[in-house]
Amino acid sequence: MEEHNHGDPPRLHPAANASAAKGWADWADWQGVLRNRFILAGLGLLVVLLLVAIVLFAVGGEDDSDTAGVAARPTSDGGVTTPVLGPGLPGQLRTTTTMRNGPGSTYAILGTIPRDSVVTVVGRNQDDTWLQVLYPPGTQLRGWVRASLIDVNGDV
């Protein structure tokens, strides 16, 4: 074989030239398709949607129907909660706040809840200073928020 430039097809025996030329023509067609920004954007969007579907399936795939409607109420031993049936109460945050893993500022931060967000209040600590909430809406993710930062509709 002779030397050739990387952009040119290699020079082959004349009998093989026809199939090699067709192969290079097919590759050139694909290069043109892959250079089209609309096709690339569509492929990128398809990949993102596929990844979102996989994440939603992995995270939301668990069925918590056996724990739906379970509220937490404090016990007399100083803050340990036990589940009690109840739908929970709607509450709206007065300000952006952190949701914690337990009823106190020393517990790990689970995330931030934006101002005016609606949460479901499902429990409280012994001295009514912290409320256990479900957030984001429609999930069974539980965390604790200072009671003074939530307007609750109903008797906690």
Give the model confidence (pLDDT) of 108-137 as tens digits.
999 999 999 999 999 999 999 999 999 888
CB 11, CB 1: distance < 8 Å = yes
The model carries a pTM of: 0.46
Question: For helices 14-34 and 37-60, what crossing angle results, to 10°?
Answer: 70
C-alpha 20/C-alpha 33 separation (Å) is: 20
- Please report whether residue 7 resides in a domain: no
**What stretch of H or E contains 59?**
helix 37-60
3-state secondary structure of 122: strand
The total domain count for the chain is 2
- Which domain covers residue 31, as residue numbers? 14-60
For residue 144, count other CB atoms closer than 10 A to its CB: 24
- Please report whether residue 6 resides in a domain: no
For residue 125, count other CB atoms closer than 10 A to its CB: 20
Asked whether residue 78 falls in the same domain as residue 148, the answer is yes
Does residue 54 surpass a pLDDT of 70? yes
- Please report whether residue 98 resides in a domain: yes
Asked whether residue 92 falls in the same domain as residue 52, the answer is no
Asked whether residue 54 falls in the same domain as residue 86, the answer is no
